[in-house]
């Protein structure tokens, strides 16, 4: 019985340690106003994670397209070479951008900010 309890305790500690590692790979959620201020200040990669056809219909000026389904180590590095770069992520409504931001954080990007969707973007959009 003692052996079983010790094993159970060790397993619980391993699970908790694994959860702690997940917290390191995180992104911040910011408001669209904060995102706009960061864009205006420069030094941020604005990442549109929608599909090409959506991007072509209208996107935030200067945004780079990287569809959420294509994000991996190579495609992310091609668009965002520096893992310490500030990355501002958006999509149509805010669902895909959360998935993409989490994926980038898991790949080691350390300053990822998700700010929702273009549907509610109150600023300029270009085609």
Q: Answer with the residue of higher pLDDT: 105 or 1.
A: 105
Q: Looking at the predicted structure, is the pLDDT value of residue 32 above 80?
A: yes
Tell which residue, 115, 111, 117, 90, has the closest CA to residue 34.
Answer: 115
Backbone angles phi, psi at 99, to 5 degrees: -60, -45
Asked if 114 and 101 count as a contact pair (C-beta separation under 8 A), the reply is: yes
Question: Tens of pLDDT along 99-113?
Answer: 999 999 999 999 999
CATH superfamily of 26-120: Rhodanese-like domain (3.40.250.10)
pLDDT at 24: 54
**Domain extents in the chain:** 26-120
Rounded Cα distance between 18 and 32, Å, is: 32
What number is the average pLDDT over the span 66-93? 98
What number is the average pLDDT over the span 69-77? 98
pLDDT at 25: 74
- The three-state secondary structure class of 25 is coil
Rounded Cα distance between 82 and 76, Å, is: 10
Which residues, including other chains, have CB under 8 Å from residue 123's CB and lie 6 or more apart? 32, 36, 60
Q: Which helix (H) or strand (E) holds 14?
A: helix 2-24
Active site residue 91: yes
Averaged pLDDT of the chain = 87
Among 12, 19, 91, 113, which one carries the catalytic annotation? Answer: 91
């Amino acid at each position: 019985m003692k052996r079983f309890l010790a094993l159970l305790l060790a397993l619980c500690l391993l699970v908790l340690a694994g959860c702690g590692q997940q917290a390191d790979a995180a992104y911040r959620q910011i408001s669209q106003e904060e995102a706009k201020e960061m864009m205006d200040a420069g030094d941020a990669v604005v990442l549109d994670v929608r599909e090409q056809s959506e991007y072509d219909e209208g996107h935030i000026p200067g945004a780079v397209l990287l569809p959420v389904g294509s994000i991996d180590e190579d495609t992310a590095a091609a668009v965002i070479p520096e893992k310490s770069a500030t990355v501002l992520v958006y999509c149509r409504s805010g669902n895909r951008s959360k998935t993409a931001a989490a994926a980038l954080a898991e790949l080691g990007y350390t300053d990822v900010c998700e700010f929702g969707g273009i549907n509610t973007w109150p600023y300029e959009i270009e085609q």
